[in-house]
Each structure stands twice: as structure tokens, then as C-alpha cells.
Amino acid sequence: MSSNSQLEKERVPSIVILDFGSQYSELIARRIRETEVYSIVMGYSTSAEQLRELAPKGIILSGGPNSVYEEGAPLSDPEIWNLGIPILGVCYGMQVMVQQLGGRVTSAIGKAEYGKAPLHVDDPTALLTNVESGSTMWMSHCDAVEELPDGFVRLARTSNTLEAAIALHSRNFYGVQFHPEVVHSIDGMIMIRNFVYNICCCQPNWTTSAFIDEAIANVRSQVGDKKVLLALSGGVDSSTLAFLLKKAIGNQLTCMFIDQGFMRKGEPEFLMEFFDEKFNINVQYINARKRFISKLQGITDPEEKRRIIGTEFIRVFEEESIKLGPFDYLAQGTLYPDVIESSGTNIDPKTGDRIAVKIKSHHNVGGLPKDLQFKLVEPLRMLFKDEVRKVGRALGLPEEIVGRHPFPGPGLAIRILGEVTDEKLNCLRDADLIVREEIKQAGLYHEIWQAFAVLLPVCSVGVMGDQRTYDWPIVVRCVSSEDGMTADWSRLPDSLLEIMSNRIVNEVQGVNRVVLDITSKPPGTIEWE
């Protein structure tokens, strides 16, 4: 696939975050965007020259896992201190600032701080304007600033850390040892606003409507009068993309919806009705159910199932795109976290080298091969998931799509353990619908990250009426999560579980038992596979 020069047309970031490998780098970018200021994440070794060209209004050095005094620890280009741009160092980023400007950082043996700590404000100006003295901030460090560089002053301290917030006011350099971006830092957002608005003088122009206008103009100028193909899955990303592209290029857009046969009850029908009939978006429905299920015959290994589904998806896509085409462009719902990950801004905690993080293999299954002869249109590539939802809503997508729970690409096939058969699929579809209906009925759908049913291919004895049964169990899996990386099992009310269980054993053919999964992630995963 050939890429295009989309980047050149992208808007200039107001704030650049230089990533030293912290798990919170993306979160800093999201928090800044919440203040309607556009920010992006770049590698820590981005040169001063690149930054001068980009001309952001402020730079933030993120945290990171290294010790700044160790040999080979990642540092900034020393020229960034001469750019005349305000800089905020967060945790490791502050230590980089101190070290590079002539101060000293040492190990904080016996004084390391993890978790919440009250911040005593000594200088309530600039960065700490309106930050209440005594307010809680989130600390996570085992090194500390021992000696400030020339001209720096202390803004705040905690009981364990003298230099918890520092400044060189004359040059607009600031450093904080804590993490203002995490929710536990009570006045963290006040600080972030102080930095972007009062210190960097940014304008609040990163809004959903501004994004939509720019994205539409960019797509139009990129695509011209050429034809675009989009693989529509019905998820938030591809649905938002379909709406955005329809608005930008109208009938030059063709969507392809491949029905693998692993969707939830009524979903293919809903998708066709919604996009094709109601919103007049050209969706080609490809019924590939038989192809997929026959490929899975006798296959029990979960990785093998995923591989087969992924390969078959690509085959069907290639065949059908030739039939429907030719197309010049392929639209993809790539999001910003994928862009950051694949640009390799992550850092090996041992060596400090930049490494590309391997995205879990299963998240790539169902994606498209790299050698298709299309140019790419990726208008959502600079957005975080919550921003995509806002764009989707603004474009008129209903809550049913925008607010829906994540659903894996291989669908119900990975929620049936062992071999996938039509009989099991029908059974799981019915059980899954009951779980979702009851969660919605209880008003809990939007409080839960995912709620679904899993079918186990073992039989156990039951009794129904006077009949002995020997049927499958259904697992109810409900979890709360922020991002799917970690999760906790949802504590559902007994009355809700009772209704679910009764309905499933009474209404679903082939099921005589319902069990509840009470495992968090880790050590469990969300899906059973």
C-alpha cells in the first residue's frame, strides 16, 4: 500500500509531547486535547530543528522508566533549550531538564514516592496559579532532584520530595515530579490549563466541528474525483469513517460489509438498514457465511481459528473489491494510538532505545494486507477513541453505534471455545442477546465496558421438567475497564443475574446451565477464545 502526503496537510500541533517511554504519554496528549488544544506525541529524540519547523507553542517532556544519570539514558536534543518555546518536564522529563541545564538528579533511596501525596505550594503563580496548597498529586518516582540548575526556583514540595515543582520563570521552563495528567491528581487539569493557556498562550481551537471541517476539506483535496472503498464492520471507527466520507465525497464512496457469519443477532440486518437504506450510503453486502464456517470445520485451536478467519477475510475482500472496483483509494479507520505505536516512539526500559511495540497479534487479525494496490485515506489517524466517538455523534451516528461495547473482529467465533458450528453459533447468538438486553434493561450498559456470553463445548447434566438434560453451559462475562488493557469483573446485582440465568436456560435451546466469570484481567483476558 502506498502512503500519501497526508501529514503535510495536517494541522500544526500547539503542544508537542516528547515521549520518554512513559505509560502516560498518550494520556498527557488526551488531557491537553480535552482543553481544546491540539497536541501530538513525538519521539524524545526529535531534533530541535524539527521542532523549530513545526513551531509548537509549547513542549512537554513526558515521564519515562529510566534514570537520567545512568549511561545511555534518553535525553533531549540539547538545542531544544534554545528554541525560546515554553517547556514543561513531567517526572523523568523534569529530571532531563534539570540534568541538561546543569542541576543534579540522584536516586531517592528511602524517599521514593508512589501514589497520592499532598502538594505544599510555595509559589502560587504561573504553573501553579489556582492550584490549592495541600491538594493531592499522584507521584511515581524513585529518583529526585538534588540540586536545581542556576536560576531555577522551587514552586512546591511534598513531605518526601523537596523539589516537587520547579521553574525558571524567565525562560518559561517548568518541571513537576508528579503526574498532573492522571485523575488522582486533583488539581492536575488546572495545572495543564495554566501551562497551555497562560504560559504557552494557546487558542482553544481543537474542537469537533473544526476537526470535521478540516477532515472533509483534506479528504476532498486528497481524493479529487476518484473512487474510495471502505470495509465497514459496524464498529465505531468504520461507521464514523463512513459518515465522514459520505459527507466529504458522497457517491464516490463504496462500503463493503463482509458478513462472516459471526455477528450478533440481528446485526447484519441492522447495519444494512441503517447505512444503506436510512442514510443512503452505498453498502455492498457480501454474504460469506458458508465460506467461513466451512473453513473452520474441525478447527479447535484458538490461534488457528483466528488465522483462518483473518486469511479468509483478506481473500473475500480481494475478490470482491475486484468485482466492485476498480478503486483508487482504500479508507481505513486507523486511530492515533496505532500511529504512535507503529511509529516506534516507545522505549526499551533497559536500553532506552526506541522500539516499536508489538500490538497484540489478534488485534491485527481481520485487518487488511499491506500489499494491496490502494492509496490510503485515513482521516481519523490523529484521533483518540473518545474523539472518534465525539465526531461520530456530531455527524449523526446514533448512540446504538457510538456507545456500543467493543466487539472483536472474528466476532462470536472466538466466544465459542473449540470447533465453531452453526448450531453453537445460533445458541450463542440467543444467549448473547439476552445478556445484552438485560444489561440494557437494568440501565447498566454504558457503565460496563463489555457484557457478553461465551459458549463452552462441554456438556453437563441438568433436569428440565421430568427430563434429564445433557447440554452446554453459557458463561456470562461482564467487565469494567478503561481501555481493555486491564479489567475487573463487574459486580452485577443478584436480581439481574437471576433474570439472565432464568431466561438463558429457558429460552436458549441446548443450554442447561449459566455460570459467571469472576476473573479480573490480568490474570484472565476479557475474551475466552
C-alpha–C-alpha distance, residues 217 and 211, integer Å? 10
Dihedrals phi, psi of 170, to nearest 5 degrees: -65, -25
Tell me how far, at minimum, the Cβ of 20 lies from ligand XMP, in Å. Answer: 26
CB of 445 to ligand XMP, least distance (A): 15
**Per-residue contact string for residues 434-463; x = within reach of ligand XMP by CB under 6 A:** ----------------x-------------
Tell me the window of 26-34, 60-68, 257-265, 403-411 that interacts with ligand XMP (CB under 6 A). Answer: 403-411
What's the CA gap between 262 and 419, in Å, rounded? 13
**Cβ nearer to ligand XMP, comparing 188 with 409:** 409
**Which of 466/482 has CB closer to ligand XMP?**
482
User: 95 or 238, CB closer to ligand XMP?
Assistant: 238
Nearer to ligand XMP, 128 or 383 (CB): 383
Q: Do the Cβ atoms of 226 and 252 come closer than 8 Å?
A: yes
- Nearest approach in angstroms of CB 367 to ligand XMP is 9
Contacts of residue 419, defined as CB under 8 A and 6 or more positions apart, other chains included, come to 296, 297, 298, 299, 300, 457
Instruction: Determine which one of 26, 91, 163, 202 is catalytic.
Output: 91
Q: Which stretch binds ligand XMP (CB under 6 A): 171-179, 220-228, 362-370, 422-430?
A: 362-370
Closest CA to 350 of 83, 81, 66: 66
Is position 526 an interface residue for ligand XMP (rule: CB under 6 A)? yes
Whether 419 is catalytic is no
The bridge status of strand 120-121 relative to strand 153-157 is antiparallel
Cell representation of residue 2: 502506498
Q: Which ranges of 296-409 does DSSP label H, i.e. alpha helix?
A: 302-324, 336-342, 361-364, 385-394, 399-402
527 as an active site residue: the answer is: no
DSSP state, 40?
Answer: E
Prior bond of 326 cis (ω within 30°): yes
Name the catalytic one among 113, 141, 163, 179. 179
Q: Which of 219, 365, 439, 478 binds ligand XMP (CB under 6 A)?
A: 365
Should residue 311 be labelled a site residue for ligand XMP when binding is judged by CB under 6 A?
no
Q: Does 404 bind ligand XMP (CB under 6 A)?
A: no
Query: Choosing from 26, 113, 163, 181, which is the catalytic residue?
Result: 181
Stretch that binds ligand XMP, among 110-118, 257-265, 266-274, 359-367 (CB under 6 A): 359-367
Lookup: cell for 60? 512537554
Q: Is 486 in the site for ligand XMP (CB under 6 A)?
A: no
Q: What gap in Å lies between CA 286 and CA 254, rounded to an integer?
A: 13
Phi, psi of 263 (to 5 degrees): -85, 170
Distance CA 77, CA 229 (A): 42
Stretch of 188-196, 266-274, 285-293, 521-529 contacting ligand XMP, by CB under 6 A: 521-529
Our finding on whether 362 is near ligand XMP (CB under 6 A) is yes
**Rounded distance, CA 457 to CA 440, Å?**
27
Name which of 363 and 468 has its Cβ closer to ligand XMP.
Answer: 363
Beta partners for 120?
A: 157
Q: CB 365 → ligand XMP: shortest distance, Å?
A: 5
Q: Are 173 and 129 in contact (CB under 8 A)?
A: no
CB neighbour list of residue 217: distance below 8 Å, 6 or more residues apart: none
Q: Does 408 bind ligand XMP (CB under 6 A)?
A: yes
Tell me how far, at minimum, the Cβ of 473 lies from ligand XMP, in Å: 19
Q: Enumerate the active-site residues.
A: 91, 179, 181
Residues binding ligand XMP (CB under 6 A): 362-363, 365-366, 406, 408-410, 450, 484, 521, 525-527
